[in-house]
Amino acid sequence: MSRYGSRSSFDLEWIERWARKVNDDRILPVIGRFFTSKFVLGFDDTEYLVDVRGGKIQKIAQGLTPNDMGVEFWLKAPSSAWSKFAQEIPPPMFNDIWAMAHPLHKQLIIEGNSLPFWQNLRALTRMLSLMRQV
């Protein structure tokens, strides 16, 4: 996307492109060696399951089904916020997931079990920052 452009929608195709960026990354297997989790990215009312093993994405899916057991946490934000986050140079207050989630700003909501979120914050931060290369 353009450096300062905005994104109108985050569809599954876009999520797939992001997942491929994640799996091509050569740092994540190192810092995310123990990052194994299922989590959900929420863009407005649309949810994407992200199944991670050892820092690599094994599966993505739009929406959850009864078979999607073991989801640990949800990261939910308006698509307008994700759009700013995904800019190559994101604007202040949208350049980081903790910045967006911080109680002062509340652009991103963390739901579920936040322990694996914090345990894997370094790898997760890098993983999500690769949205800027999609």
User: Which is closer to other proteins, CB of 6 or CB of 9?
Assistant: 6
Q: How far is the CB of 127 from other proteins (least distance, A)?
A: 12
Q: How far is the CB of 105 from other proteins (least distance, A)?
A: 6
Would you state the structure tokens that stand for residue 80, as one six-digit string? 């307008």
Q: Applying CB under 8 A, which residues contact other proteins?
A: 89-90, 92-93, 95-99, 102-105, 114-115, 118-119, 121-122, 125
* Cβ contact 28:22 at 8 Å: yes
Q: How far is the CB of 68 from other proteins (least distance, A)?
A: 24
User: Which is closer to other proteins, CB of 49 or CB of 123?
Assistant: 123
What sign for the dihedral angle of Cα 22, 26, 29, 30? negative
* Cβ contact 41:50 at 8 Å: yes
User: Which is closer to other proteins, CB of 53 or CB of 106?
Assistant: 106
Closest CA to 125 of 10, 35, 44, 20: 35
Alpha carbon distance 91, 39 (integer Å) = 25
User: Which is closer to other proteins, CB of 4 or CB of 67?
Assistant: 4
Q: How far is the CB of 11 from other proteins (least distance, A)?
A: 26
